[in-house]
Amino acid sequence: MSKNKPLNVAQKIIKTHLVEGKMEPGEPIALKIDQTLTQDATGTMAYLHFENMGVPRVQTEFSISYVDHNTLQIGGPNNANDHIYLQTVAAKYGIYFSKAGNGICHQVHLERFAQPGKTLLGSDSHTPTAGGIGSLAIGAGGMDIALAMAGEPFHLFMPKIVGVHLKGKLQPFVTAKDVILEMLRRVGVKGGKGKIFEYYGEGVKTLTVPERATITNMGTETGATTSIFPSDEITFAFMKAQAREHQWRPLQADPGAEYDEYMEIDLSTLEPLVALPHSPGNVKPVREVKNLKVHQVVIGSCTNSSYKDLVAVAEIFKRTGAKVHPEVSAAIAPGSRQILLQLIEEGYYEVFLKAGFRILESACGPCIGMGFNPPSKGVSVRTFNRNFEGRSGTKDAMVYLVSPETAAATAITGYLTDPRDLGLDPIEITLPSRFVIDDTMIYAPAVDPDEVEVIKGPNIKYVAFYDPVPEKYEGEVLIKVGDNISTDHILPGGASILPLRSNIPAISEFTFHYLDPTFVQRAKEKGGGIIVGGENYGQGSSREHAAIAPRYLGVRVVLTKSFARIHRANLINFGILPLTFVNPEDYDKIEQGDRLEVIIGDLKPGSKAIVKNLTKNLEFEAVNDLSEREVEILKSGGILGYIKRKFEKKVAAGV
């Protein structure tokens, strides 16, 4: 890339944060990280990793720990113990702490901390929400967050940057959620892999920051590294309403800036859309899904719980005078305490109560199967970002993803309903010129860390791995799965499993729990083994437990047609070798129970492995797409061993 070449927004941020590598698509690069965020389901492990590194204080400009997943404190003291650990470890090591009840990490971070031009790394796959304010925000596993807090750069392959030209203006009752559903309809759940979606054009000016954040949030479901909007006068107005105008900076693509690929969406041509079970990419117009009787409607999540989202719902009920349909169970979960206070101040909270909604805590809740599970074989219409089978907490439920306006119309009629069919005049919503600002549930770190005792309950059990990947590995195929297997499939969430996130031995018992309840027993009996998968293996959540648990059970090789970005990185961090078939048709030559010998040899970037199917007497090739650094990590047994060796070399060199 030439020195004076015009840059787009993503390139500008990457250039100013580039520590290693070249800004050429596919090249390994490393970025300086300004901010980190964690949530409690992934944060407990991230901070245990950080403590194990021996760094006395976080090295980032700003790091914060949110509690928004395991807030219910059910099944004993596990949740409460984790909360105490998170609060004390934050106080000691220079990390801010957002208490349970303060809100969903992405919504609160957008409101109070995200800044244009900054890099943000979060231990949650929906961290790109902050792209709505012009931050280069990327989701990663907890180990990568710990490394960033320790001052290490974040390593990835330089993504292609796709320019998405937005034209026109959304029509009444068509929303930002419909924009990202249209993106998913076009590219599917893996079409964004290795890409950054950057939105530009005249249509951008018609979208508020919360609307932009809805689009960048759910861009994750395309497999994209992140999504981003420019920072403009609309961004300034939002930050001023948050009393943060001093943190604003303009950030636009240079005139003549180019993109690796281009897309165009005419906002004025869109209509209300819905993602059908069981994939965010299974998108159709609402009007085409006829006579779908609905049992449950839930409005919230980090995608659609903003002030604008909830006021739109309240105005629909206020103007129609309607109540929630008698045969529908409906709930609203405001994204943050700030939004909840704003709704109360403006009288909308009362509208929801009188309409028959249940008001849930400002937390992730039903989105991760923590409460409000649908009935058996029930139809649940949700404003969330994922509808993977079983994620709702009910395995045979049918979950549909829609906008808040579509959810409101559906709650009124009892059937999936296009909100335009209610016959209402257009609803114009203006964001407050000043939001209710109350940060009393966000705690700064201790001034004197020596006065803080980090408290770990008995449920917190850390496990570290240091055994290098062998030159030859023999094992049984413990499970063979198909395409688009998510981390929810590998290591589920839900009320009975999420509270175990800080206890590796305990949570490992739930590996592939819903796909194959006998997996764990087989893995233990066989002393580990190999996992075989199809395309896009490990899509969805950033949960590194989907790598840690198989590693704890002895898995050392995962062989697939292709991997999702974050899960691939997590496998490497914990010493599991990710291999892909040279010939995808060889996938069909393997069955569960086959015994494979994988001859790896001297592991190098792009080196091939010989795979011998000893059961069927067949042989084929697999390949890695590792960088030099990733090879060294695997030869060190995982990232902890790598960091340890790196530190020892520095000491030996007298650095």
Cα 588-590-595 angle, rounded to 5 deg: 175
Q: Which helix (H) or strand (E) holds 490?
A: helix 487-490
Secondary structure (DSSP) of 214-277 = HHHHHGGGGTBSEEE--B-HHHHHHHHHTT-GGG---B-PPTT---SEEEEEEGGG---EEEPT
Residue 529 zone, left/alpha/beta (φ > 0; ψ -120 to 50; rest): left
Measure CA of the first residue to CA of the last residue in the chain; give whole Å.
33
Q: What is the 3-state secondary structure (H, E, C) of 509-539?
A: HHCCCCCCCCHHHHHHHHCCEEEECCCCECE
Nearest alpha carbon to residue 140 among 514, 487, 385: 487
Q: In whole angstroms, give the CA distance from residue 492 to residue 255.
A: 46
How long is the chain? 655
- Residues marked active site are found at 68-69, 124, 386, 541, 543
Please enumerate in sequence order all residues whose Cβ is within 8 A of that of 54, keeping only pairs 6 or more positions apart, or say none: none
Cα dist from 32 to 10, 129, 313, 646, whole Å: 14, 19, 40, 18
- Per the CB < 8 A criterion, the answer to whether 397 and 369 are in contact is no
- State the DSSP code for 396: T
Say which residues have a Cβ less than 8 Å from residue 525's Cβ, sequence separation at least 6: none
Is the separation of the CB atoms in 546 and 494 below 8 Å? Answer: no
| Ranges of H-type helices in 334-464 | 337-345, 348-355, 404-413
619: left (phi over 0), alpha (psi -120 to 50) or beta: beta
DSSP letters spanning 317-344? HHHHT----TT-EEEE--SBHHHHHHHH
